[in-house]
Chains A and B, each alone.
Chain A
Amino acid sequence: MAFIPHTAADVEAMLAVIGARSIEQLFEEIPPDLRSRPLAGIPQALNEMEITRLMSRRAATDRVALSFLGAGAYEHHIPAAVWALATRGEFYSSYTPYQAEASQGTLQATYEFQSMIASLTGMQVANASLYDGASALAEALLMAARIRRRPESRRVLVPRAVHPHYRAVARCITSHQGLRLEEVAYDAATGRTLVEALEPYDGEDLAAVAIQQPNFFGVLEDVDGLAEWAGRRGIPLVAIVNPISLALLRPPGEWLAGADVVVGEGQPLGIPLSSGGPYLGFMATRLEHVRQMPGRIAGRTLDLAGDEGFTLTLQAREQHIRRDRATSNICTNQGLMVTAATVYLSLMGPQGLRRVAESCHVRAGELVSALTGIPGVRAAFTGPRFHEAVLQLDRPVEPVLAALERRDILGGLDLAADYPELGHALLVCATETKTRSDIEDFAAALGAVLEARTAA
């Protein structure tokens, strides 16, 4: 039990070597009144057959539906090879490659990942992952404030069109460093963050400007205009991007004036939705800023014989060396997700990834056309889209979603709580996993639900 291999004879022999009468004696340095608490609240052990049955039953209650949910977590096809490889014990039961010579597999995969992320984002270097997209934004803002080199600059501009949870996480983490997130309004007609909305901050002391492309509404921002505004004022620019979209969209490194730090959620790259995690925060930057970057970084070097190999590098930035002067407190990251994403990107290649991005975009366009053809449904914004869109209904969204759910359709995200100013707004998404007939089914169901309710 408990995966402990000891026989009674082993225990006896080992205690004899130690010179202890019992295992209990090994705990003698612990004050007696602290010892041996019962675990009354922990259930009796199950064997593997029993736990399999329990978990299978529970999984079955979480019935899978036809889903048009996005909002930062996206359903994509995951090739079987991705997790067949990532769950090899050699990858998943190893740890941070402190002993480089015994961890070349993890290190090389990480170096390949960094190379792919750098190319996708148009930047020079990437790290070996952060926790998720939202916490990566928090780290990026802290990094941008360090790049700024003006300790008194504490205000950062984050558009209201950035994912609300990302803004919440960034606030939670960076407020302790005195950063103040200031919300930039979006244009009610296009759903874009306009350069004019930044103008009131002209001449103000800012630590960073963040832009999400595509933004939370799925709308494509005028990234050149926004980036140029920040660049001309010497304010570090943080870009938040969807890695799939980068097969199609101009990468932040090629925006006018270019981004200083690029972060995003790597979940679309072969990582299952899994109720929210584990996902994959990624970060890329310019070489000149690499010493301000948080997290592990793999580098290529030479060994004693002059042959190439891989090792963790620039560790003087990190907590185990620099302690309270480190660039971040991060230690354990999302290593296995890096391996999965690297396999995914290798299988897709530039052509496959582009095909995925194009399919997402085309299907989403068809989805918007189909749904806005229903009386009482209209598109909220006119700005160009990637693979999500905000729709406005003629009535509260929540009961409509509930009615769709009864038809085994997850019809999107109700924005009432986060964006009350948008009225009865619904965020929908389509990826390459949705067929035209899925879209027709959704449109038919929504039409029926709205009609039934109108009649009632």
Chain B
Amino acid sequence: MAPPREPLIFHASRPGRGATDQWPREPGGAISIPEGLLRSRPPALPEVSELDAVRHFTRLSQLNFSVDTHFYPLGSCTMKYNPKACNALAMLPAFLARHPLAPESRGQGVLACLHELQGMLGEVTGMQAVALGPMAGAQGEFAGVAMILAHHRARGEFARREIIVPEAAHGTNPATARLCGAVVREIPVGADGDVDLEALRAAVGAGTAGIMLTNPSTLGVFERRILQVAEIVHAAGGLLYYDGANLNAIVGRVRPADMGFDVVHVNLHKTFSTPHGGGGPGAGAIGVAETLAPYLPIPIVGREGERYRWLTERDLPLSIGRLSAFMGNVGVLLRAYVYMRLLGREGLSRVAEHAALNANYLLARLVRAGFEAAYPGRRASHELIVTLRREAREQRVTAMDFAKRLLDYGMHAPTTYFPLLVPECLLIEPTETESKETLDAFVAAMVSIEREAREDPERVRRAPHTLPVRRLDDVRAAKRLDLAWTPDGRTADPPR
């Protein structure tokens, strides 16, 4: 049933073979490079025919679960359907062929799309200005925190170096704050899933630069006292950063600016459906309130009359600077642009509605089936958390075991063990593009695994059983490092 494993491409290599039709002709000229700078041994690349390569990578692809092939309810990642048109239209030959330093006169088409995208993202977030350069959410976060710090410095408030982060935050938040040179201050979350306001009041002060929040939070619930949070932080002189990882829950319904946020990043690969690519590329566009606009990272697309042009440091002398060699992940931005135009005003307002409908339906059905909601009595946002602590205690079957067994049922696992403060958790995000039938099948799988956990727990603990590989030994992977194939067969094992 499972597709067979595929040998490493290096094993198919035969000296003298090659996809020769892809190679340029002999250049017919001399190499004028000093001998001492030349390579003596060729790199260990495979020598295979085109068909060898096509079969190899096609077979590799078949070893993956993906949105196109499987339900993929990976919480906090918004694995919705990626419309084919977005991909096809971003890959029109003229868009692909355009050099990043080509004159603006030969880029008015792409610049028009980017300029309109800036405007649409401003509309959705309620922010005054948008920059599209950041190449992933984490880079958007970097830009946001750097701008907050620049703002305080410009006002002479050099002591404001603390970034407050709720304990449930994505790991990128504290990592980003630290990268920006800020001091991270974690605050607890109450039993109801909302930020502990008393702890927040105690945390803010003359050292507060700002707070980083995801709303709805990573706990799958809306932060109900967000306006009070904003008031407390603003009163203390800090700014609010909105981590847009969960924007799909509120897009078209609530704008981060209205909640009091000063800066937001939007993961275009989540809410605006650009493909996740097996780990990227994404895009982390950033939007800001007027006060922060001068600090936006360059470049930005500006418009003068009917002409579009790049804005650079000459236009934005206070910019925090440049985050990519050229203009970030333009191809990803084009996909998001096409997606937003396809959905339009009406479609965008339906996204959050149906994402919430699917999440709450799944929560209701799972609770009815006997699973424990992490935050009972709360509405789910676009995702939900169940805790399998009872199953772990009684059957010694963990959230990881459930996750691996779900793979046997033909579904990608939800996010496991995040957020860290919910024991044995599954963070489940169905997205709006999944049908009721798919959600019902997921519930049926969970119920079936629960039964297996009682009747044959070993079967669950040793899952998966039907995939190309059995459960992999992560501990061994980290202890006996094998990170690269080498021709002499010696794997890269540390000498120590």
Contact = CB atoms under 8 A, between A and B. Distances in A.
Given A277-B135, A352-B19, A92 B87 contact: yes
Nearest 5 CB-CB pairings of A with B: A45-B344, A276-B326, A89-B68, A335-B279, A336-B277
Interface string A71-87: 11101010101011101
Interface string A328-364: 1111111111110011011111111111101101110
* Residue among A31, A99, A169, A325 with most chain B CB within 10 A: A99
A42 to B, nearest CB: 4
A129 interface: yes
A438 interface: no
Interface string A190-203: 00000000000000
B481 A18 contact: no
B277 A91 contact: yes
Nearest to B184: A324
Given A23-B357, A42-B348, A356-B23, A365 B126 contact: no
A311 B310 CA distance: 41
B325 A132 contact: yes
Given A14-B361, A57-B109, A178-B181, A132 B481 contact: no
A448 interface: no
A441 to B, nearest CB: 18
Interface in A136-177: 163, 165-166, 168-169, 171-173, 176-177
A84 B451 CA distance: 43
A65 B99 CA distance: 10
A454 interface: no
A300 B72 contact: no
B414 to A, nearest CB: 10
Given A265-B325, A355-B23, A51 B174 contact: no
B171 A350 contact: no
A111 to B, nearest CB: 7
- Size category of the B interface is 35 or more
A159 to B, nearest CB: 17
A72 B432 CA distance: 40
B93 A59 contact: yes
A44 B39 contact: no
Interface in A4-40: 4-6, 10-11, 13-15, 17-20, 23, 26-31, 34-40
Contacts of B77: 95
A55 interface: yes
24 contacts: A41-B119, A45-B345, A56-B92, A58-B112, A59-B92, A65-B106, A111-B8, A115-B10, A120-B45, A135-B324, A220-B34, A275-B326, A288-B494, A297-B483, A298-B483, A311-B474, A319-B174, A324-B174, A326-B175, A329-B138, A331-B138, A336-B280, A352-B19, A356-B23
A118 to B, nearest CB: 4
B137 A46 contact: no
Given A65-B106, A278-B329, A346-B53, 17 more contacts: A2-B354, A4-B350, A6-B354, A23-B353, A39-B349, A45-B345, A51-B89, A73-B100, A88-B58, A108-B8, A169-B323, A250-B36, A299-B482, A303-B469, A351-B47, A384-B34, A402-B103
Interface string A95-118: 111111111111011011011101
B207 interface: no
A124 to B, nearest CB: 5
Contacts of B250: 30
B45 A350 contact: yes
B254 A30 contact: yes
A102 B467 contact: yes
Interface in B200-224: 221-222, 224
B197 interface: no
A405 B19 contact: no
Interface stretch (B233-241, B285-293, B484-492): B484-492
Given A128-B279, A168-B321, A302-B476, A352 B20 contact: yes
- Size category of the A interface is 35 or more
Contacts of A276: 100, 324-328, 330
Interface string B291-316: 00000010000000000000000000
Nearest to B182: A176
A329 B144 CA distance: 13
A173 B103 contact: no
Contacts, number: 722
Given A51-B338, A132-B325, A119 B23 contact: no
Contacts of A95: 72, 74, 77, 79, 276-279
A338 to B, nearest CB: 8
Contacts of B39: 246-251, 254
B342 A359 contact: no
B110 A275 contact: yes
Contacts of A46: 341-342, 344
Contacts of A166: 325
Interface string B458-492: 00001010011111111011101111111000011
A288 B277 CA distance: 30
B179 A177 contact: yes
B33 interface: yes
A44 B324 contact: no
A112 B330 contact: no
B40 A36 contact: no
A348 B9 CA distance: 13
A343 B258 contact: no
Interface string B244-260: 00000010111100110
Interface string B27-42: 1111111101111101
Contacts of B170: 319-320, 331
B154 interface: no
Contacts of A73: 99-101, 325-326
A37 B36 CA distance: 66
Contact of A299 (B26, B122, B343, B483): B483
Given A77-B22, A223-B37, A43 B68 contact: no
Contact of B433 (A3, A10, A128, A298): A3
B77 to A, nearest CB: 6
A309 B94 contact: no
* Residue among B47, B96, B101, B364 with most chain A CB within 10 A: B101
Interface string A44-56: 1111100110111
Given A59-B109, A309-B472, A4 B37 contact: no
Contacts of B81: 3, 93
B269 interface: yes
Contacts of A347: 19, 22, 48, 50, 53
Contact of B54 (A85, A114, A133): A85
Contact of B485 (A115, A220, A337): A115
A334 B136 CA distance: 9
Contact of A173 (B65, B142, B478): B142
B374 interface: no
A165 B103 CA distance: 17
B403 A248 contact: no
A374 to B, nearest CB: 20
B431 to A, nearest CB: 10
Contact of A111 (B33, B462, B485): B485
